[in-house]
Amino acid sequence: MALRQYDEELRAIGQALEAKGVTGFELYKLEAGYFVKDLSEHTPTFHSTLRDWLRGQRHSNIEFATYGFELEDVEELSKNGRALRTKQGQPIQFTDLSNMLRTIGAYLDSKGAELIELHKRPISMTLVYRDKSGHEYREERPVSSFYNFFLQLYVKRGRTE
């Protein structure tokens, strides 16, 4: 089975999620692409709240948005993202979701691992992946723990601040 290039795919998804204002999410890798559950609370509309109340459903009215990214969509997002890349000489910020996810993708690529799922919270991350021999790993770590790896990638790419 050919492994994906997660650095580019996750960067493209990160740009799409940034555009939607998503910061906390659960991402699942599927055969055909990716599924993302936005963990931001979305208040339902008045009509859906009224409809639920009339049906006797008086429980929590919190809804979560979900997004699907088929592999073809990810490729198109990646092409569009390359066209909008940061201009030479401008600093690249690790805190940008697209750069953070690119770093995590490169981390997976460096291990030759297959992504299973990724949970992003404000300051922590849970990464579930499978190595070449089929062993599954779960890493729960602060987002900041990827910063040094980000710097190594930045230097490899020949960027200067």
User: Per-domain residue ranges for the chain?
Assistant: 6-156
Q: What is the pLDDT of residue 78?
A: 81
**Alpha-helical runs (H) found in the chain:** 6-19, 46-54, 71-83, 97-111, 147-156
Q: Convert the pLDDT of each residue in 15-61 to its tens digit.
A: 999 999 999 999 999 999 999 999 986 555 545 555 555 555 555 55
Q: What is the pLDDT of residue 133?
A: 95
Q: Which of 34, 39, 8 is nearest to 22 (CA)?
A: 39
Q: How confident is the model at residue 10 (pLDDT cuts 50, 70, 90)?
A: very high
Judge residue 67's burial from the number of C-beta atoms within 10 Å of its C-beta, 0-12 exposed, 13-18 middle, 19 or more buried.
Answer: middle
What's this model's pTM, rounded to 2 decimal places?
A: 0.77
Is 140's pLDDT higher than 60? yes
Range name among 94-98, 119-123, 156-160 with the lowest pLDDT average: 156-160
Q: Convert the pLDDT of each residue in 55-101 to its tens digit.
A: 555 555 556 789 999 988 888 888 777 666 555 556 678 889 999 99
